[in-house]
Structure 1
């Protein structure tokens, strides 16, 4: 009896097994289709092999690009002069113009490419030409800044003395773009490799030259460090693209030497990156402190009978072991010690200003100097706000006039197509007022000019014109006036 029961269950079990196998096969088929979709529709779009040049062609281009002599050398000198002029007059456009003609890319791309294929002869030649390029650039920019021109510490110069991780990212992605463009068959595409590289190299080189010409060590060290880390990360980007594209190795080296080379690269990258990360963190903290300081003064010192005449802040990073400070000068009713102590207690928790001292300088109503300063500050803020409002309204009015003029011109041409008797149209927007003098509504007034005999011989369909105006203006509050041309 037991055997009979088992036999009765076998068909059902067999069906479950078959269903399970079918479901598993179906799932595998769907998974295979999904993988094929990802590969064909997505991954193939990001491939670098479709329009890549051959390695022999890339190798020839790199060898040609690392040479800094003849026309390349003269173009480099001219580009450095132009970039130095742009830094001197604080013009970003002029600096970009110098980048367009700069031949700085070759030697650095050569360094990254040669390390990727273990071509140490090319590596030595790239380094040699890189040093020549740097020396020529520094001499050229130093000569420029020693000329009897007006030279100030402009923002474009100052920005190159405090390199941060943002500069590293600019150099790295510029290097990626430059190397990818360098490996294409058609090198006349949307990427100009020299511009991608020169973006990170031209300004700091010129800034070092400015520091040498004016004997300012902070410009020399800051810009030289920026140029160094930019060069390293551009070479790293070229190295990575070379490895991703799996170029043939020129010289086979043993695993120990390869491991030591990789360790050296990592050590150089880490040691050059750490200072820039520290500087970036310091800049972010300084920016956060300035923002919190302004918010604190604006919110915490909002008193009815006391106003802030002026305020200042001094930020010190943690390593200085000196607290930051905020100084506030007040005019009006003096604040009590309890109020001031309460403000100090709120600085760390509420306004995120730890390790910050608050200095409050108060003056009474009899201090005429402070009173005048307070009034001047108040009037200056008021005038600036009014000027901003006037400027904004003028911009709005100008845009409205431009839009209205263009719209009415187009509408007149359109109306003339289906109403040939018309000679002209004017359309204006007016505000209507009630008898109390209060604005009631906005009304469009349309004046139509017809030919002399249009009204008597074949009167135009005014209902059609009215419906057309309502549709084109988006409002039915329209008054139509008709005049006949003489």
Structure 2
């Protein structure tokens, strides 16, 4: 039963000839001619996708990228102690990395859009999950390469391990002079390369590929120790980043629970929320539609934060109308970036129309009641002496009547002047 189970999960089933696999891997290492052009085009496409925040475009760039070749080649070289192949793989990977950084740097330097989109930001802080994705993605990739029938995994591996976007993000960091973005993105790229390589090494060892050059046991042990040390060097910072990510997520969950308990369930409408996790102390900024809090209530609420596990934070409630309005408008401006030309034109026309509109819609009804002899009453505004320094907007009332009503017109004019607080009323009989 155990033997059958082992045969069922064995990777030797459907395995391609080892010499042919090694030949294919060696062919895909080089970055010369067409491969270099394909890489440069893929970098431009990925950079555009990151720039416009398009996930579909980024996925397309990852699918056409040839970056996996030298990384898998390095894993094969380590697994078979082929140091000549390892040297070629590392050399070509360095060429590909430098070209990619240069192309993305030039693109983002020339691009007029320098805003940090979410797709860019998500690749500046790698963590342990990225390590796991790179490792298991690398396992799938090398298993597929060593099969007679390659199947569909290769495109999925290219998307999952995501070698292209971190390199482009690193180029973006260089272009805008943000070294934190550059280092974070390049670290993610290094993690992906390294753990794909390690996954390849382990599978090659498992499949018992014959060493190209025999090495003594002592040298083989040194190689194993070196790989182990590199794994620790790469994985420890990612654990730290994952720990920070977990704490931030927990912090935000506790805040949501606090807001729900103290405000939402009591019927208070929140119109503004901003959480600053990186400040010291951490800050929670809120604003409410109508509810006002006294200093004593604010103090109690800050004390209440401790009961929700967020005692290291400070609650700030914005209650000044002017400051609140500017904050909200600023937030909206950051989200929408810029108003379109159409929006500006519509807004300008709306303001222009408001100048010629009488806002009290019940005036015509009142006139009909007070002055029953007038019919077909219409109210509007006109500009006297347009395009001059003396231009002035006046209210005009049009009416129809069987006979001229001078006295009634005077009464209507006086009544309207008082009603609208406008002394420039004009009465016109049609």
User: How would you bin the TM-score normalised by the shorter chain?
Assistant: 0.5 to 0.7
Candidates 165, 170, 174, aligned match of 1:208:
170
- Once the two structures are TM-superposed, the CA of residue 202 in structure 1 deviates from its matched residue by 0.6
Q: Is the 8 A contact 1:164 1:280 kept in 2?
A: yes
Partner of 1:87: 50
- Once the two structures are TM-superposed, the CA of residue 183 in structure 1 deviates from its matched residue by 0.7
2:309 equivalent to 1:352: yes
Candidates 251, 258, 261, aligned match of 1:289:
251
Instruction: Tell me the secondary structure at the aligned position of residue 325 of structure 1.
Output: strand
- Once the two structures are TM-superposed, the CA of residue 288 in structure 1 deviates from its matched residue by 1.4
Instruction: Tell me the secondary structure at the aligned position of residue 192 of structure 1.
Output: helix
Q: Is the 8 A contact 1:204 1:226 kept in 2?
A: yes
Gaps of 5+ in 1: 1-35, 364-368, 377-486
Q: 2: distance between equivalents of 1:77 and 1:54?
A: 33
Q: Is the 8 A contact 1:80 1:141 kept in 2?
A: yes
- Once the two structures are TM-superposed, the CA of residue 149 in structure 1 deviates from its matched residue by 4.4
Instruction: Tell me the secondary structure at the aligned position of residue 184 of structure 1.
Output: coil
Q: 2: distance between equivalents of 1:303 and 1:197?
A: 43
Partner of 1:326: 284
1:386-442 deviation per Cα after TM superposition (whole angstroms, max 9, x unaligned): xxxxxxxxxxxxxxxxxxxxxxxxxxxxxxxxxxxxxxxxxxxxxxxxxxxxxxxxx
- Once the two structures are TM-superposed, the CA of residue 340 in structure 1 deviates from its matched residue by 5.6
- Once the two structures are TM-superposed, the CA of residue 197 in structure 1 deviates from its matched residue by 6.8
- Once the two structures are TM-superposed, the CA of residue 237 in structure 1 deviates from its matched residue by 0.8
Q: 2: distance between equivalents of 1:96 and 1:311?
A: 33
Compared CA separation, residues 59 and 344, structure 1 to 2 (3 A): same
Partner of 1:222: 184
| Equivalences for residues 260-409 of structure 1 within 5 A | 260-301=222-263, 310-316=272-278, 322-328=280-286, 332=291, 334=293, 337=296, 343-349=301-307, 351-359=308-316, 369=321
Compared CA separation, residues 173 and 323, structure 1 to 2 (3 A): same
Compared CA separation, residues 306 and 56, structure 1 to 2 (3 A): closer
Partner of 1:366: none
Q: Is the 8 A contact 1:181 1:193 kept in 2?
A: no
2:100 equivalent to 1:143: no
Q: 1: distance between equivalents of 2:126 and 2:268?
A: 43
TM-score, with length taken from structure 2: 0.68
| Equivalences for residues 133-212 of structure 1 within 5 A | 133-187=96-150, 189-192=151-154, 195-196=157-158, 199-212=161-174
- Once the two structures are TM-superposed, the CA of residue 327 in structure 1 deviates from its matched residue by 4.5
1:196-238 deviation per Cα after TM superposition (whole angstroms, max 9, x unaligned): 3784211011112222233322221111111111111110111
Instruction: Tell me the secondary structure at the aligned position of residue 294 of structure 1.
Output: helix
- Once the two structures are TM-superposed, the CA of residue 259 in structure 1 deviates from its matched residue by 2.1
Q: 1: distance between equivalents of 2:106 and 2:292?
A: 60
Q: Is the 8 A contact 2:303 2:311 kept in 1?
A: no
Q: Which has the higher contact order (CA 8 A, sep 6+)?
A: 2
